Amino acid sequence: MTDTTPRQVDTEDPVYAANLRRATLASSVGSALEYFDFALYGLSSALVFNTLFFSNLDPAMGVVAAFASFGVGFVARPLGGLFFGTLGDRIGRKWVLLVTIALMGGSTTLIGVLPTYESIGIWAPILLTTLRLLQGFGAGAEQAGATVLMAEYSPVRRRGFFSSLPFIGIQLGTLLAALVFTLLSSLPDDVFLAWAWRVPFLCSFVLILVAMFIRARLRETPTFVELEKHEQVEDHPIRRVFTTGFPGVVVGIGLRMAENGGSYMFQALALSFATGTAAATVDKSLATWGVTIGSLIGMAVIPLTGHLSDRYGRVPVYRAGAVFMLLYAFPAWWMLQSGNPALVITSIAIGIGIAVNTMLGPQCAMLPEMFGNRHRYLGVAMARELSAVIAGGLAGVLGAWLIAITDGNWMVPAIYMTVLATITTAATFLVPETRGRDLLLVEDAVRISTTEGAVR
């Protein structure tokens, strides 16, 4: 492949086209594995871990403890993003993505063989939490790497669309996890809790092998090749990100609050609420259909909104998603507390499929476009993973705790979601339009006005 930037490359070149397809597949499989892992853990926190690994606590606190172990993984994500993001900016994207997927997937597989609290006592939750930490450490740079990889490979005029394609893998991973749990949770409780819940964790091993085979054949991105050719690779990306790149990290965190926090609230907290806390509860096998249908909707919404961001700009499309979630928060949680299975499924499906994914579509290209070439991987990783701690990591444990101390008051999580959506809506006014930005630029877009060079 010729050492060129995506805006200069001949998109009809068969070599370029083959590498673009390979990059899309490599990123998609990694995204599918990451969100299969995290959806599994989130669903298990709501339906399994509280019973098997925190059985020494009363049921309400068992749910809080299970979600706390879920949140611990988010604490490790920024550390993983810092470590692997630095390597990604210094040695390239490809090799880092091989290591992260092995660490992330391997930890998930091992969860499937853990003994429970009944077998080994306190060591069961300790080992579960340790594997969750390792899972989060690997995932801390996985999605950032996939995002950067696709943005740097994509043709500039269609960067929003092509960058969004791997994120269909997010929906596929979530869909697979939800489908598996929907089927397994329909089994008798003694069978489900005895061994059936372990099956999807063990199946992660197959995805690891596929992803590593594909990534081993992937070429380095054109923009990083340009840095190496001109000897411009950053020696100290951490220092650069936390000085000149810091405004972009802060804005990126704001942009992710509603998307990431809302995603985990609808995938995990809403299930726990609807199946065990609401005034009128529904069967867990019915509630998980909301996640399944939402993921199917998202597989269409993500590339559609990525395409719309190529036509109308990243900011307007992103803002539309944030405002939709802002207006949807109270109706969504009212439906969840109703106890009506159709309303519960509809609430979760629309929340995941439309509210969350309308923001995720343009985000795939927007975050990499916000950062300069010499520290892009680390910048995206820090924006994604710090926000994952603040938004996604707290969504489960804080939401579960608030629901517990208010006796299942549905308005509390609705207010929480409204706050997240308000922050993201405000953040869309702090970032310039990045559509079509030259990814060889070393300056961050947040430090450049829209009319003075953010678009070249």
Instruction: Kindly report, residue by residue over 68-103, the tens digit of the pLDDT.
Output: 777 777 778 888 888 888 888 887 777 888 888 888
Residue 8 falls inside a structural domain? no
Residue 3: pLDDT band with limits 50, 70, 90: very low
Query: What is the per-residue pLDDT for 276?
Result: 72
> The domain that contains 229 carries what CATH number?
1.20.1250.20
Domain assignment present for residue 286? The answer is: yes
What is the reported pLDDT for 277? 65
Query: What pLDDT, in 10s, does the model give residues 197-243?
Result: 888 888 888 878 887 887 877 777 777 777 767 666 666 778 888 88
Confirm whether 166 is domain-assigned: yes
Confidence of residue 152 (pLDDT cuts 50, 70, 90): confident
Domain range for 417 is 14-452
Most confident of 30-39, 114-123, 138-147, 395-404: 114-123
401 within a domain of the structure (yes/no): yes
Q: How confident is the model at residue 452 (pLDDT cuts 50, 70, 90)?
A: very low
Total domains in the chain come to 1
Residue 43 located in a structural domain: yes
Residue 235 has a CB neighbour count (10 Å cut-off) of 9
**pLDDT confidence of 1, banded at 50, 70, 90?**
very low
Q: Is residue 147 part of a domain?
A: yes
Q: What is the mean pLDDT of residues 387-411?
A: 81
More confident of the two residues 205 and 415: 415
pLDDT at 7 over 70: no
Q: Which of 78-87, 141-150, 213-222, 422-431 has the weakest average pLDDT?
A: 213-222
**122: phi then psi, degrees, rounded to nearest 5:** -65, -20
